[in-house]
């Protein structure tokens, strides 16, 4: 275990930033998380967690002597299957079982959880850890790498010194623009409308214990239960030229209904249940080979933002956190060497996720003959073939966590 004299500064207290603070604590490092918002908070929507991230939660929990994975499991919902249906006909195209067979293959479960619940578990773990300092209302605007330490300036005034700096400040990362001087994120032309509905308002015939989605021409709709089935999470995605930078503004239901006209009755029924949607302009970036310099490294969406089609952005951020802390331990606290090794170990896997997510988006939104080919190919896959196709993601990265029960 190593202990730097100054804490490691982490800019951003989202899933990636908090997971990084926990991962560093498992290796004996102090950290100071600077979050621009007035509180540590996630948006009111669901998130899917693959077995690869549960492996990471187990490693973190073991390192901290806390039941982190168990606390997340307590709040999560475990779907029986992942079902893809055709948006026009409503027919089931593919069904991937997520029960015992899946668990036997990947050792860890597939789960659905409210984002706020996940963030709260991470936050509480950070609050219990005396190696972690959490500070809100601190928007980092500038940084200087002095060679032997790093200083950041905040909009609110105070500056902070740290042994090193990790930019976990998301898609619109300030640290990334200071480090890499690259362009803004790429606007994909895909828009997501999100909402959460009390399940009591969902027709009984559509109350499923599954992660279900209907794939259609330039559209798809995802529904899944969260909070033990009390709530249903909806994500409606469609292509649109409309562009508003950033996240989380209100959606226009008229545009949504227009885009989903011609879809099957189940889809239109679900969409009609929601009056107020939040809208996200979906962006990603071209993968880059290098996201670290000197004592500064990027992590999560700041390093490799991806479209949501693989449901892996947050999972990859947590993998980053565990990998980075491992490398720091192995480099004996040599930040530059550790960050380079971390970058080297992560960039191909995360680039593959970025590129595959784009491809999945095309497959989900296929039309004409491409849609027929998709339906034919996916409907013929056995569960084992589906698992094999997902193994590069779900087998996760190296680590020796306890086996899942
Ligand atoms: C529609 C949709 C569905 C998705 N579904 C899934 C899914 O099912 N599974 C999955 O794994 N991923 C999913 N993702 C991706 C996932 O949400 C992101 O990859 C993940 O939240 C990234 O975490 P992060 O900590 O890197 O960044 P963020 O969550 O963006 O956190 C960054 C934090 O940094 C703070 N910040 C920013 N700038 C500064 C600054 N200058 N100073 C201080 N603080 C700052 C922000 O306030 C924020 O709290 C989805 C994304 C979308 C859009």
CA of 228 to the centre of ligand 1 (A): 24
CA of 169 to the centre of ligand 1 (A): 8
Per-residue model confidence as pLDDT tens digits over 306-321: 999 999 999 999 999 9
Q: CA-to-CA distance for 306 and 310, rounded, in angstroms?
A: 9
* Position 380 pLDDT exceeds 50: yes
CA of 57 to the centre of ligand 1 (A): 18
Mutation probe of ligand 1 site: the residue of 118, 301, 354 with most atoms within 8 A of C-beta: 301
Tokens of 93: 């195209």
CA of 307 to the centre of ligand 1 (A): 12
Residue 263 CB contacts under 8 Å (≥ 6 apart), including other chains: 87, 88, 214, 216, 219, 221
Reduced to 3 states, what is the DSSP secondary structure of residue 23?
helix
Per-residue model confidence as pLDDT tens digits over 149-182: 999 999 998 899 999 999 999 999 999 999 999 9
Give the number of the atom of ligand 1 that is nearest the alpha carbon of residue 314: 11
Domain around 117: 8-184+285-394
Q: Is any ligand 1 atom within 6 A of the Cβ of residue 320?
A: no
Q: How much is the pLDDT for 244?
A: 59
Give domain status of residue 349, yes or no: yes
Give domain status of residue 293, yes or no: yes
pLDDT-derived band at 1 (thresholds 50, 70, 90) equals very low
Q: How much is the pLDDT for 387?
A: 98
* CATH number where 352 lies: 3.50.50.60
Tokens of 242: 């409309």
Give domain status of residue 29, yes or no: yes
Q: CA-to-CA distance for 346 and 212, rounded, in angstroms?
A: 30
pLDDT-derived band at 2 (thresholds 50, 70, 90) equals very low
Q: How many separate domains does the chain show?
A: 1
**Contact predicate 250/187, CB 8 Å:** no
Give the number of the atom of ligand 1 that is nearest the alpha carbon of residue 305: 19
Positive or negative, the CA dihedral 27, 29, 35, 38 is positive
Give domain status of residue 189, yes or no: no
Q: Which helix (H) or strand (E) holds 189?
A: strand 186-198
Q: How much is the pLDDT for 44?
A: 81
Give domain status of residue 220, yes or no: no
Q: CA-to-CA distance for 198 and 136, rounded, in angstroms?
A: 31
Q: CA-to-CA distance for 134 and 214, rounded, in angstroms?
A: 41
Q: How much is the pLDDT for 3?
A: 47
Residue 148 CB contacts under 8 Å (≥ 6 apart), including other chains: none
Q: Report the pLDDT averaged over residues 239-261.
A: 77
Residue 375 CB contacts under 8 Å (≥ 6 apart), including other chains: 86, 93
Q: What is the mean pLDDT of the chain?
A: 93
CA of 382 to the centre of ligand 1 (A): 33
Q: CA-to-CA distance for 324 and 338, rounded, in angstroms?
A: 7
Q: Is any ligand 1 atom within 6 A of the Cβ of residue 192?
A: yes
Give the number of the atom of ligand 1 that is nearest the alpha carbon of residue 174: 41
Give domain status of residue 214, yes or no: no
Tokens of 92: 């089931």
Q: CA-to-CA distance for 299 and 306, rounded, in angstroms?
A: 13
**Contact predicate 162/140, CB 8 Å:** no
Q: CA-to-CA distance for 214 and 223, rounded, in angstroms?
A: 9
Strands 159-162 and 8-11: unpaired
Per-residue model confidence as pLDDT tens digits over 106-158: 999 999 999 999 999 999 999 999 999 999 999 999 999 999 999 999 999 88
Beta bridge partners of 92: 85
Give domain status of residue 239, yes or no: no
Residue 205 CB contacts under 8 Å (≥ 6 apart), including other chains: none
Q: Is any ligand 1 atom within 6 A of the Cβ of residue 313?
A: yes
CA of 314 to the centre of ligand 1 (A): 7
Give the number of the atom of ligand 1 that is nearest the alpha carbon of residue 37: 47
Nearest CA to 393 among 111, 51, 77, 98?
51
Q: Is any ligand 1 atom within 6 A of the Cβ of residue 235?
A: yes
Q: Write the DSSP string, 66-134.
A: S-HHHHHHHH-B--SEEEEEETTT--EEEEEE-SHHHHHHHSS--EEEEHHHHHHHHHHHHHT-TTEEE
Q: Report the pLDDT averaged over residues 336-357.
A: 98
Give domain status of residue 203, yes or no: no
Per-residue model confidence as pLDDT tens digits over 198-208: 999 999 999 99
**CB burial of residue 401 (10 Å; 0-12, 13-18, 19+):** buried
């Amino acid at each position: 275990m190593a202990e730097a004299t100054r804490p490691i500064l982490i800019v951003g207290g989202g899933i990636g930033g908090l997971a990084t603070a926990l991962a560093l604590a498992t290796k004996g490092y102090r950290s100071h998380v600077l979050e621009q918002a007035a509180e540590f908070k996630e948006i009111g929507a669901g998130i899917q967690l693959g077995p690869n991230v549960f492996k990471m939660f187990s490693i973190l929990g073991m390192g901290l002597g806390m039941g982190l994975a168990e606390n997340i499991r307590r709040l999560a919902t475990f779907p029986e299957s992942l079902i893809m249906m055709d948006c026009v006909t409503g027919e089931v195209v593919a069904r991937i079982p997520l029960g015992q067979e899946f668990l036997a293959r990947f050792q860890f479960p597939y789960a659905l959880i409210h984002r706020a619940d996940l963030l709260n578990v991470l936050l509480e773990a950070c609050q219990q850890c005396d190696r972690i300092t959490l500070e809100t209302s601190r928007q980092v605007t500038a940084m200087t790498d002095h060679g032997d330490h790093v200083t950041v300036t905040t909009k609110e005034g105070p500056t902070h010194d740290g042994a090193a700096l990790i930019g976990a400040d998301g898609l619109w990362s300030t640290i990334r623009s200071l480090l890499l001087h690259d362009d803004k994120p790429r606007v994909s032309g895909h828009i997501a409308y999100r909402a959460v509905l009390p399940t009591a308002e969902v027709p009984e015939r559509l109350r499923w214990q599954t992660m279900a989605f209907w794939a259609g021409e330039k559209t798809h709709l995802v529904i899944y239960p969260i909070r033990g089935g009390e709530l249903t999470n909806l994500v409606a995605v469609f292509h649109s030229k409309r562009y508003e930078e950033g996240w989380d503004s209100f959606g226009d239901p008229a545009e949504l209904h227009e885009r989903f006209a011609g879809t099957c009755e189940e889809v239109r029924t679900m969409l009609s249940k929601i009056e107020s949607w939040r809208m996200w302009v979906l962006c990603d970036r071209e993968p880059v080979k290098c996201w670290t310099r000197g004592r500064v490294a990027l992590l999560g969406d700041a390093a490799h933002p991806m479209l949501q089609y693989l449901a892996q952005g947050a999972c990859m951020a947590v993998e980053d956190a565990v990998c980075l802390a491992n490398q720091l331990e192995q480099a004996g606290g040599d930040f530059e060497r550790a960050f380079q090794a971390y970058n080297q170990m992560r960039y191909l896997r995360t680039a593959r996720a970025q590129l595959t997510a784009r491809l999945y988006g095309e497959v989900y939104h296929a039309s004409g003959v491409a849609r027929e080919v998709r339906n034919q190919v996916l409907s013929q896959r056995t569960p084992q073939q589906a698992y094999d196709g997902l193994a590069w993601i779900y087998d996760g990265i190296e680590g020796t966590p306890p086996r899942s029960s």
